[in-house]
Amino acid sequence: MKRILIVDDAATVRLYHRNILESAGYTVEEAINGIEALEKSLLKPFDLYLVDVNMPKLDGYAFLQRLRGKDMSQAPAIMVSTEAAPHDQTAAYRAGANCYLVKPVRPEQLLVHVQILLGEICS
């Protein structure tokens, strides 16, 4: 069973994403900021990260930089943000995200991305 970490400070968003992912059969864990996310990743790396941008303490960019920098995980990371501006997307890519989605993320949109990134679709 693939494990996914949702990193977001907003409970609503976490719940929303959790519902979508759990309904598709993934194991979901949550972190409310980058620090907590790093701690959880240290214990056991995840198969995919779903990361918000703006969070207290350690934001999404910084979290991804450390995740990639410490070579803790090479798992794909999806960055989720409310900003559709191109420079935000570039910043996400720069930090180490593999994919950038703008909220609200439609359930099937999210699932397709997750399924492709986890290699669960066969052509």
Summarize as ranges the residues that interact with other proteins (CB under 8 A): 11-13, 15-16, 65-77, 89-90, 93-96, 98-100, 104, 106, 108-109, 112-113, 115-119, 121-123
> CB under 8 Å to 20, separation ≥6 — which residues?
107, 110, 111
Considering the complex, what minimum distance in angstroms separates the CB of residue 1 from other proteins?
Answer: 18
Considering the complex, what minimum distance in angstroms separates the CB of residue 22 from other proteins?
Answer: 15
Comparing CB distances to other proteins, the nearer of 22 and 108 is: 108
- Closest-CA residue to 60 (of 3, 117, 5): 5
Q: How far apart are CA 95 and CA 89, in angstroms?
A: 10
DSSP 62-84: HHHHHHHHTT-----EEEEES--
**Can you list the alpha helix ranges (DSSP code H) found in 2-117?**
11-23, 34-43, 60-69, 86-95, 107-117
Comparing CB distances to other proteins, the nearer of 81 and 89 is: 89
Comparing CB distances to other proteins, the nearer of 56 and 119 is: 119
Comparing CB distances to other proteins, the nearer of 40 and 65 is: 65
Considering the complex, what minimum distance in angstroms separates the CB of residue 123 from other proteins?
Answer: 5
Considering the complex, what minimum distance in angstroms separates the CB of residue 119 from other proteins?
Answer: 4
